[in-house]
């Protein structure tokens, strides 16, 4: 095999894993893989801050599998995830890697499945699952986590948001003191500090530049709703673009349901995924999405962090997220690897401040709108805002120039307005000439 195919070889991985990497068609390690894999192999405790889509999961899976003693009948590693969907994804990734090393085993343990079936599984080398189910199995003596050598806490900030840190705390407190602890998180919120201070001594820190500043594969389009409702503007967008797979983000389950129903009634091929669906419904929807049964999928922010779908060509922010950290997670669903992606953000006048903050984070929007069934560039919103502001200033300054009679005669208001309009036109012409000379 060529050096290009084995660009991971210098990281100290065995031949089975190199074959798995070749099968995955990974050309070279991502930044987080380059920096994390050697530290995990060296048994360092680690805190890694990285956005979704940077190759994070393989950065810990590859060295964990490398270190596993396949002859052991005990749990070697535990990977905790905040959502069932993310657990399934990590489990699928693990199964692909260990397919090339038949001796290593992995098991998944998540809520919404048969507890007794989980309790009677053969103990695997690598345990993957949600904190509550693993805690229950450990409490019942069906899954001994005390002997694990490595614990991974994936999407730690989402663990906090979903209220799982108490379960995580109880789990980690039962693990042997010298176990390696690996924490991965898009942000390091204050709520995570007590956990880190309690369980990790002298950790190695790895911080990967946020995707909003580094990804060049995403084209950001900013579309005003103008006088239209969001629902009607959304329909207009779906009639204009031609996605392979588009994820449409809303800020709540209720909003997801409303947009989904509106699109469905309009004849759009659309699916839905959010935390309010039952485990069975979510599983069915995920299968259909992965099978490309839908062109559009309405989703809550669960999908921006807990799910990973191949081939997402478009992301549409119907609502701008209340927590702007999620903006990066959302748009990171597209433009993955070597593929290009389009992120469309719809906005109303009420969203102006949020757009300002997003732009301050390094996002550069192309200002566009839909005209005659095509996406066309329009003047930047800042230019339109400045124009409105200048108009107000002109109005204020010109009013005193219109001579008014001390005696109020019939038709006075109309004459005053006509004179003011004439002055406005003259002033706007002058202003336009000045701006032209500046340019």
Bridge-based pairing of strands 314-317 and 374-377 is unpaired
Per-residue model confidence (pLDDT) at position 420? 64
Q: Contact, 109 vs 118, CB < 8 A?
A: yes
**Taking the chain (439 residues) in consecutive chunks of 10 residues, what is each chunk's mean pLDDT?**
62 91 88 94 92 83 93 92 88 92 89 88 94 93 92 90 88 91 87 88 82 70 94 96 96 92 96 84 89 94 72 95 81 84 95 90 92 92 58 52 52 65 66 54
Q: What are phi and psi for residue 282, nearest 5 degrees?
A: -65, -40
Per-residue model confidence (pLDDT) at position 384? 53
Q: Could you tell me which residues are beta bridge partners of residue 107?
A: 127
Q: Contact, 154 vs 85, CB < 8 A?
A: no
- Other C-beta atoms within 10 Å of 410: how many? 7
Cα-based angle 33, 312, 354 (whole degrees, multiple of 5): 85
> Beta strands of 179-290 (E only): which ranges?
180-185, 204-207, 218-224, 246-249, 270-273
Per-residue model confidence (pLDDT) at position 147? 92
Query: pTM of the full predicted structure?
Result: 0.66
Hey, CA dihedral for 373, 378, 382, 384, is it positive or negative? negative
């Amino acid at each position: 095999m060529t050096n290009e195919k084995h660009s991971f070889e210098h990281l100290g991985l065995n031949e089975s894993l190199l074959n798995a990497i070749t099968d995955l068609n990974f050309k070279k390690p991502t930044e987080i893989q380059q920096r994390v894999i050697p530290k995990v192999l060296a048994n360092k405790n680690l805190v890694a801050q990285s956005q979704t889509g940077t190759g994070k999961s393989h950065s810990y899976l590859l060295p964990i599998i490398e270190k596993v003693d396949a002859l052991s009948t005990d749990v070697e590693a535990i990977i905790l995830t905040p959502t069932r969907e993310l657990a399934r994804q990590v489990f699928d990734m693990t199964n692909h890697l260990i397919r090339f090393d038949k001796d290593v085993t992995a098991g998944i343990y998540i809520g919404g499945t048969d507890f007794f079936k989980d309790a009677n599984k053969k103990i695997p080398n690598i345990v993957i699952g949600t904190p509550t189910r693993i805690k229950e199995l450990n409490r019942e003596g069906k899954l001994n986590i005390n002997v694990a050598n490595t614990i991974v806490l994936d999407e730690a900030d989402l663990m906090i948001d979903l209220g799982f840190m108490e379960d995580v705390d109880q789990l980690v407190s039962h693990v042997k003191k010298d176990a390696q602890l690996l924490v991965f998180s898009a942000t390091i919120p204050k709520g995570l500090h007590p956990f880190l201070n309690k369980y990790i001594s002298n950790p190695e820190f790895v911080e990967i530049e946020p995707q909003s500043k580094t990804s060049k594969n995403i084209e950001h389009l900013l579309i005003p709703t103008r006088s239209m409702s969001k629902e009607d503007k959304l329909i207009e967008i779906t009639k204009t673009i031609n996605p392979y797979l588009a994820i449409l983000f809303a800020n709540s389950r209720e909003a997801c349901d409303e947009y989904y129903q509106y699109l469905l009634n309009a004849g759009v091929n659309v699916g839905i995924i959010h935390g309010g669906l039952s485990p069975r419904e979510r599983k069915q929807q995920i299968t259909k999405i992965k099978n490309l049964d839908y062109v559009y999928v309405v989703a809550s922010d669960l999908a921006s962090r807990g799910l990973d779908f191949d081939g997402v060509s478009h992301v549409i922010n119907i609502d701008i997220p209340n927590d702007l950290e999620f903006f990066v997670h959302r748009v990171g669903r597209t433009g993955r690897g070597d593929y290009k992606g389009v992120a469309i953000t719809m906005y109303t006048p009420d969203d102006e401040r949020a757009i300002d903050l997003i732009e301050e984070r390094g996002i550069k929007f192309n200002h566009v709108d839909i005209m005659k069934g095509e996406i066309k560039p329009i003047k930047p919103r800042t230019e339109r805002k400045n124009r409105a502001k200048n108009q107000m200033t002109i109005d204020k300054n010109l009013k005193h120039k219109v001579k008014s009679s001390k005696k109020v005669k019939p038709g006075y208001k109309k004459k005053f307005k006509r004179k003011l309009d004439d002055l406005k036109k003259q002033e706007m012409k002058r202003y336009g000439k000045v701006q032209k000379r500046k340019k």
